[in-house]
Each structure stands twice: as structure tokens, then as C-alpha cells.
Structure 1
Amino acid sequence: MNVHQTVQTIFEQMSGEISEVYLVACGGSLVDMYPSKYFLDSEAKKLVTGMYTANEFVHALPKRLGQNSVVIVCSHGGNTPESVAAAKSAKEKGAYTIGLTHNSEATLLNYSDYVFLYEWGEESDVKNNPMAIIMELTVELLHITEGYAHYQSFQNGLGAINGIINRAKKQVEPRASVFADKYRKEELFYILTSGASYGHAYGFAICSLMEMQWLHAASIHSGEFFHGPFEVTDKETPFILMINEGRTRALDERARTFLNQYAEKVEVIDAKELGIGTIPDEVVEFFNPVLFYSIVCVYREALANVRNHPLETRRYMGKVAY
């Protein structure tokens, strides 16, 4: 079944009594859920949403969790113990579970009422990747439970985003190469953005830089930058600023104005410049993170190449007991 059919079936089986949606995962899979959390917080009037790292979900189950809950669990390999345990816990509480994975033999499937085996890799269409599928699921859940006025605009955005990304990746390749050469010896980066994209500032920090490059990094919300973090700004510290198109753009532009005055090592990735403005205004903000993920992958690959540190290199993950 496709996303629409799956949500329709769940809605009928639950007699229309869907009161909350939980988004549960770890690491990069959790990052992929942030745009959906932002979307539901922004657009839902009644539908409650919660986003949890899987191990916390298992150890601190929300009391609302039950027969009126839909729990979406994502795990790339499908065998992450914490995510599998989260799906199992959700089913034990009577919730409906939707599992997303790239592995057709994943343990997660044993605790998923419905499964999406998503595409992955350079040749895949981003609308078939987990972030877009999860967002499509949450849009459908909102639309079927209480209606969503911009439903068709969102569908139009889904159809357009892959082409936008392919053009943008070619556009940023030269500047990503310059960035990598310029910052190859840096050991610390601060990543700023806002809105639906904030999860990807966090994700770029913990996954791309800390996990894959063994570099120190921290994410900072553009709106919070001026409430403490901006005191570390100097001319020696690198900042990466992702500027959204949509309602929170003003927050990012405020950060850019300050950084242009007081910092020197600033890399700006602007969704508007990269062509996202062809997506309807009423939904464009939800597609910023889909674009940004693909673009920062170009940056991290360029950095890995000049540092001679392959993205797959690990010293702890999957190698020691933890």
C-alpha cells in the first residue's frame, strides 16, 4: 500500500479515533523525523505529536500512549535494539505501529503493523527516502483526522523537490570544494538554522561531523543564538548557517547579519538561492530540510575527501561493546 492507502486503512481500523502521533528513532533516523514534528506542531489543531529518541521512549513511555496512538519508528538497518524495543513497547500498549527501514529482513518488521521499505543512495528520488515518507505520513494523518488546507500544495512540493535538489547539488559542488580546502584543519564547527530545518543542524553536527569525521560540532537554533551562544563568536571559529525560505527566514537572516559583522569564517547555505522558491509559499518551509540534507551531504563528502577520512570510518560504532 502507498502512504495514502496506509493512513486510510489505519484510520478505518481505529474508527477515526486517532488522537496522537509519536515519532521514534535514533541518530540520523530521528533527525529525519524533526520536519514532521515541526509540521504537526505548526498545523495541527487537535492532533498531538511527540518526538522521542527510542531508548527514552522505552524507559519513559508517555501516559497518553495507547489504542488511539500511531507510532512511527524508523531504523535504517532495521535492527537498532532501541528502536526495535520502542516498536515492541508501542504494540504492547495497543498502538498502531508504522516501521520504516531499508532492510527487508529487519527485526523492526516483526513489531510493525505497516512497513515502508524505503529507497536509499545517490540514484534514489528523495520523495522515496525516509524523511519525505515520514512527512507524507504525517500530512496524511493530519488531513484525514482534521483536514489540511494546503494538502495539494504539499503534494506539488513533493513532486518538485527532487529536481530542485539535483540542480542545487551541481550549484554547490564548487563552493563545497572551496569550503573543504579552507576548513580542512578546523576541529570545531557551529551549525545554525531554524524552523523545520533545525533537526538537520543537529544531524549535521552529531552524524556528519562528530560521527563521520571525528570533529567537534554543535547545533545552535538561530532564534537562540542571541540568548547566549553568540558570545563565542570570533574571527577564528567556523560557522555554517542554513538560511530557510518561509516563516523563520528572518531568524536566520538576523544571524547572518551578526556573523557578517563579527565573524570571518562563515559558510552560508541559502535555500532561496538554491531554488526552493518554486514550491508554494504556504508549504515551502517544510521542504527546506529535505533540500538541506542533500546539500550538506555534498559538503561532508568534500570535507571527508580532503581530510582523507572516509565517511564510513568508525572507532566505536559497531566495533566495541556499548
Structure 2
Amino acid sequence: MLGFNEEEFLEQARSTVALRPQIEQLVERIQGGSWKNIYFIGAGGTYAAALPYERFFQTRSAFPVRAVIGKEFILAPDPQFGPDSVAIFASVSGTTEDILECVEFAREKGALTIGFTGYPESPIATAVDEVLLSAPKAWPFDVQFLLFGAAFLAARGEFEGYDRLVQDLQYVPEALVAVTKQADAAGEAFAEKHAETDYHFLVGSGNLWGFTYLYSMCILEEMQWLRTTRVHAAEFFHGSLELIEKDTSLLLFMGEDETRPLMDRVLGFATEYSDDVTVIDTKDYALPGVSDEFRSLLAPMIADAVVDRFSKHLARVRDHSLDLRRYYRVVAY
């Protein structure tokens, strides 16, 4: 398949699952200590990627957990953030300057700092108190974040079936390869149809809202220089719907959690008023070896595997490499 190295993908995905013992040890340390809250501190894609797991905690537990935009957090910190806090960071390269600044800020506040990355000698890996290393370039961070959240809440008696989830995650790398292969034709068709489309409208909800935000900003805007609007399904009918016309390209991210009715409502409106609606529905993709019990939790991983094919084919038909930047890490800002 275009731009897909199956062996490399499996190595990266398996390396994230293999972090389970370290994550469990880390959770045990936190549970045995005096830490009172957890902050996922990110920038761009890593902030967006943390949103499903902020939601995972907030819909299951009274333990305080927030996902925050790091640079703003430095300027306007939460008064509850300090020596009793756990700060979680992620960076594929381990060199993201915004994240490094936030690590330094968190350490100054006395927080326990945890970093997920793939490079042991990177600035972020060497700056945090605890680093958990996957294979180089491993993305996304969903497995690590989900394992951490599930282990933490299971220890508090707030998540049932942790052992079953861990067993299911062993099958996820191969299952996501199957998803990728299944999605390739849809990705190619989307790209061929939209080679000249310069504006897309993206909608998501629940644990796919963060992914919707990420795909809009970090892929379509940053990597393809396309104009987008991104809106949560619950907010779609409070202004954004006025932008929809018959030729508006809409991408709807449909998950399998309790917020799906919000997306059903958007889908009904979108198909009535636009002739260009693309639905990325995680229910359409089988996950061999994974039980139905945990499918909804894996929706961000499924969506990521699906739209990887959209991205690779868009880059081809538009002759615009996903690595090309005008400004990001190119000019001073």
C-alpha cells in the first residue's frame, strides 16, 4: 500500500503494548504516593490526543484529571497544580520545544513528570522523572494513555475488566493493519474526488472529538495546507451549520460510545443539505481478536488507521508531501 510499511507499523504498535508492565509499575507508584491530580500537558497533536483520556477519567472517576494546552498553562496555571500533581507529556520526536518548556515548568512546580516518546536520548526523555519508551516514531499514543487510565482506575475500583482489556490489546497491532488495508480503497476514492477541494468541514463527538480536532489541524491544515472548520457535534447546531452548502465537503467521525446520537443528528442534517458527506464510522471495521466490550475505547486508534489512508492518497494526488512545511519548525515565531 502507498506509504505503508507493515513491518515498521507492527513494530511500533507492539512496542506501545509492551509498555504495560512499566505503566502498571508507574500507576502503583502514584497510587502509593500523595499525588492528588493528573494533568495531560500537550501542544497541538499531543494535546488533542489526550482529550479522549481526559474524558475517560472524567466520565468514570472523581479523581481530578485535566488535559491542558501547555503554553497557556504556563501563563495561566491551575492553582491546584504543584507538588501533589502528576504531569504527563508525549512527543514523538522528544524534541518539541513547547513540551520541553512545559516539562521544565512542571519540574519547577514540583510535579512528578512522566514522558512518552521513542527516543531515549532526546531532550524530553532526559528531562522527565519517568520516561516510557516505545519504538522510534511510534504514533499515536492511544495505547499508552488508555493503559495508564485503565490501570489507574482499575486500582481505584472504577474500571472493570482491566485484565480483559490488556488481553485484547495484544491483538490491536494486527487488527489495525487489517483496518488500514480495508480503508485503503475509501482513502484513495476520497483523495481522487477531493484533489482540488480546498475546504473541509469536520465533525466529531465523545472520544473522537479530540481526534477530529487533531486531524483537522495537524494533518489537513499543517501537512496539506487545506482550510478546515472543526466543530463538536453537540455544538454543530449552534452556528456552524450555517456554513453548510450543497458542495461543502463534510467529514463525519462516528464512534461507538454513548455520544453517537449526537453524530446521528449531524449526519441527518449533513446528508440533507450537502451532496459531499464522507462518513468515517469505526463500526464499519472489524477488529479480529478484540471483544465488543472495548471497541468504543479503541475508536481513536481505528479512526487514525482509517484516515492514514486518506492522508497518504491526498498527498499523492495533490503532489504535496506530508513532510512539507512553510512555517512550522522552519521560521522563527
Please give the TM-score of this superposition, normalised by the length of structure 1.
0.91
Aligned to 1:27: 44
C-alpha separation in 1, matches of 2:166 and 2:100: 31
Instruction: Provide the identity percentage.
Output: 28
Q: Give the gaps of 5 or more residues in structure 2.
A: 1-20
- Runs (4+) of structure 1 exceeding 3 A deviation are 276-283
Q: Is the 8 A contact 2:208 2:254 kept in 1?
A: no
Matched pairs, number: 313
- Residue 99 (structure 1) aligned with residue 109 (structure 2): no
Query: Cα 1:254–1:302, aligned 2, differ >3 Å: closer, same or farther?
Result: same
- Taking the TM superposition and a 5 Å limit, the aligned residue runs for 1:274-285 are 274-275=285-286, 279-285=290-296
- Residue 226 (structure 1) aligned with residue 237 (structure 2): yes
- Taking the TM superposition and a 5 Å limit, the aligned residue runs for 1:87-236 are 87-120=103-136, 129-236=140-247
AA of the residue aligned to 1:262 = Y
AA of the residue aligned to 2:186 = R
Please give the TM-score of this superposition, normalised by the length of structure 2.
0.88
Query: Cα 1:246–1:178, aligned 2, differ >3 Å: closer, same or farther?
Result: same
AA of the residue aligned to 1:34 = L
Aligned to 2:65: 49
Of stretches 278-287 and 235-244 in structure 1, the one that deviates more from structure 2 is 278-287
**Cα distance, 1:182 vs. partner?**
0.5
AA of the residue aligned to 1:3 = I
AA of the residue aligned to 2:181 = K
Secondary structure of the corresponding residue to residue 240 of structure 1 = strand
**Cα distance, 1:169 vs. partner?**
1.3
C-alpha separation in 1, matches of 2:234 and 2:289: 26
**Cα distance, 1:81 vs. partner?**
2.1
AA of the residue aligned to 2:35 = I
Aligned to 2:13: none
C-alpha separation in 2, matches of 1:75 and 1:265: 35
AA of the residue aligned to 1:138 = G
**Cα distance, 1:157 vs. partner?**
3.9
**Cα distance, 1:27 vs. partner?**
1.4
Which residue of 66, 69, 74 maps to 2:90? 74
AA of the residue aligned to 1:62 = D
C-alpha separation in 1, matches of 2:139 and 2:154: 20
AA of the residue aligned to 1:22 = Y
Query: Which deviations, in whole Å up to 9, do the C-alpha atoms of 1:199-232 show, x marking residues without a partner?
Result: 1111111111100000101211112212221121
**Cα distance, 1:275 vs. partner?**
2.0
Aligned to 1:84: 100
Aligned to 2:321: 310
Aligned to 2:53: 36
C-alpha separation in 1, matches of 2:50 and 2:249: 27
Q: Is the 8 A contact 2:55 2:207 kept in 1?
A: yes
C-alpha separation in 1, matches of 2:82 and 2:152: 17
Of stretches 272-281 and 64-73 in structure 1, the one that deviates more from structure 2 is 272-281
C-alpha separation in 2, matches of 1:309 and 1:271: 27
Query: Cα 1:232–1:220, aligned 2, differ >3 Å: closer, same or farther?
Result: same
Of stretches 179-188 and 254-263 in structure 1, the one that deviates more from structure 2 is 254-263
Q: Is the 8 A contact 1:240 1:266 kept in 2?
A: yes
AA of the residue aligned to 2:38 = V
Of stretches 92-101 and 198-207 in structure 1, the one that deviates more from structure 2 is 92-101
Query: Cα 1:129–1:243, aligned 2, differ >3 Å: closer, same or farther?
Result: closer
- Residue 60 (structure 1) aligned with residue 76 (structure 2): yes
Secondary structure of the corresponding residue to residue 223 of structure 2 = helix
Query: Cα 1:18–1:285, aligned 2, differ >3 Å: closer, same or farther?
Result: farther
